[in-house]
Structure 1
Amino acid sequence: IKNNQGIEELKNYLYTIENKENDEELIFHYYIDRVFSLKGIGTVVTGSLNEGSIALNEKIICLDTQKELIVKNIQNHDTNLEQIKACNRVALSLNCDYKELKKGYLLSKKGYFKAFKECDTLVKAKNLQNSKMIFCVGSRQIECKINILKKLENDEFFVHFSFDKNVFLSFDEAFILLQNNRVIGGGRVLNPLSEPLKKEQKNKFLMFLKNKDFKAAFSFLKDAHKYGFGLLSSYQRFKLSHQKALKLAKELNQVFVDEKNLNVYHLQSLEEIKNFIKFILEKNPYAMLSAHSLALRITWASENFCELGLKEMSNLLDFQNGIYFKKGIDFEKLQEKNNNQLYEILKKQGIKPEAPYNLYDF
């Protein structure tokens, strides 16, 4: 802004901005911009609550230190409150030493955000080039390296950022870029997680995220990740609750959705589980199998997915007392055989038999 006309244009624009409605499903997300200690009160932080809500005596976590904290008091414009929602300026009194906190630290709820040293974004800027800049998010500033993935229309770019330090970013989070103390551009986070994709694949995935076409994004991940992808981080990754993410996943074709473990598997990968079961039976026709024992061997598969593989092999397997075994084998004799074999191992090697001693499948 260089003159009175620019000031008037800014004022007129600000008048057009509508109040942001608070989404009840958003998680408490609060960047500290000041931290100090007051006599008789203790540690106080101030900042802007842009997402979620917070209540008195609620447990939160400082993501940068991984220390859990308790909210002792809440103030908004010098008024004490029992709770407060976004979007507001908020002062919080916390049960910790003020020296443990710094400007730019992020307060949130435990279990929703992981740290990464890279992210993929949508940036709007003129004449953007691969270079080093300052990435500003909330009240935090951090050095970054820019790698332009694709130039779009209207001065927009898909950009990959690399950081020297961990950052806790989330989908659709706004940021600005500084270089030589000047604003170069700004944008929003599309993929806050490390995603091992080739450039062409990544650009396709980012376009789905740019358009907030999450069903297409889920379908892409299903095909891109042979051994499934998780929904545990669905909030950080898509701003979706687990319930909404599971609902979307169930709409996909050719998938198995493990609701308990929040995993989505392409049904093609089920063949690998079946082939592994066949391999075990060929090596040991007297093998005793369970979903748990398979999941220990097939580390990418959950017990529920292994259970599906076992159930779909009813032409080869019988089931009794929680155990799957080769069809045609007498279960009582099978138990007796394995018990005798275990006894011989213990008799020979004592109470500390040498590994491997899993006789149930090999």
Structure 2
Amino acid sequence: MAASSWPVKIYNSSSITTDSLKVPLHAFIRAYDAPTPSIVVRADTQVFLDSLAFQDDGKVLGFDLDHDGYDRLRNTEVRYLIDVYMPTRSLASLRAMGSGDVVVTPSALQNTSVVLTTAGSGTVFVSAPSIELANLNISVSGSGGFQWDVPATKVTSGVDLSVSGSGTLALSTTTLDAGSLKMAVAGSGKAYVGASSLVNVSSSVATSVAGSGQVNLYAAGTCRDHKVSISGSGDAFVSAMNCRDTSAVIAGSGSAYIQSTTTLATSVAGSGRIYVAGTVPGGLPGSYTPMASPPVTTYNAVPVPAYEPHKTKFGSHVSTGTSWTRDNATLIGVLVAVLIVLLVAFGVYRCRKSGRACFRSKTERPVGYARKTSTENQAPSMA
């Protein structure tokens, strides 16, 4: 049976001020010429539609299956298709939850400040030829992902990217123009900022890794100043960012790959390493190793889910829209990991202050260290 002949449930919001969405299931977010949002859900079973509840406070619009619905659908395979229609240029905030993927039509996004979040194991996809925004904030928590594929991306103020947990965030462009850029990973996740032409940041770049994760930037970039901070065993592959002033601080066993044109400041507490690409400005002293060809870790894009019904089998499940537990469990885990890293860093500081050797030295990595390639080619679960 074709999806067009399935039972349908429609919710039409009456609010013209709605600019935020909470999406716990596989869905497609579209832009249309109307003053208020609308949600159209088709499914091959009426029980799924009957169990679907909508939440609308005039500002935030959301939906989810109620607890009884999850019980009724337990061990049941359902195919469904969810379309969320937002007035053109109205969406300022999106929170995607659960294991379903969310595909966003960029024309639904506001051109001022946009906050996009995924919490769970699903992936959010944004694809378009070009986008111009004032502010862009993207965060990934849990094991999910975010894939931004917009060749010409311009953000007049700032880009703020963060990963907490084991997820992956990829901002892929041809050119990225931004007032400032912040990249942060807490946990074992990975963040990628890739521009095949240039990452052009007019002011500052901040890179931080807490845990065992990675931050990767390529293939070329410029900025005024770049601050890199690593706590733990993580890595920052950001030597493509050639800024006027660069500083790097490591507490632990991580590695930072950097570059600078004018001034360079480095500090290492522990067995970590700092590698400097190109010519070290002024032959400045510091805790670093020159490297002619730093490693590069790149992201391999996964296909955007096709517009078709999504198939899922419901098991023992707690509603992602009403459950506090899952998101906060992830957050607590990340906070515990960061606390452990800080305690290790403090111990290293005390150890060094007392004049004792704290770690065995690492084996020196040779100049021209082998180029890395990403293994981030895990495609989303598709029907």
Same fold (TM over 0.5): no
Greater per-residue helix proportion: 1
Q: Which structure: larger Rg?
A: 1
TM-score in terms of structure 1 length:
0.27
Greater per-residue strand proportion: 2
TM-score in terms of structure 2 length:
0.26
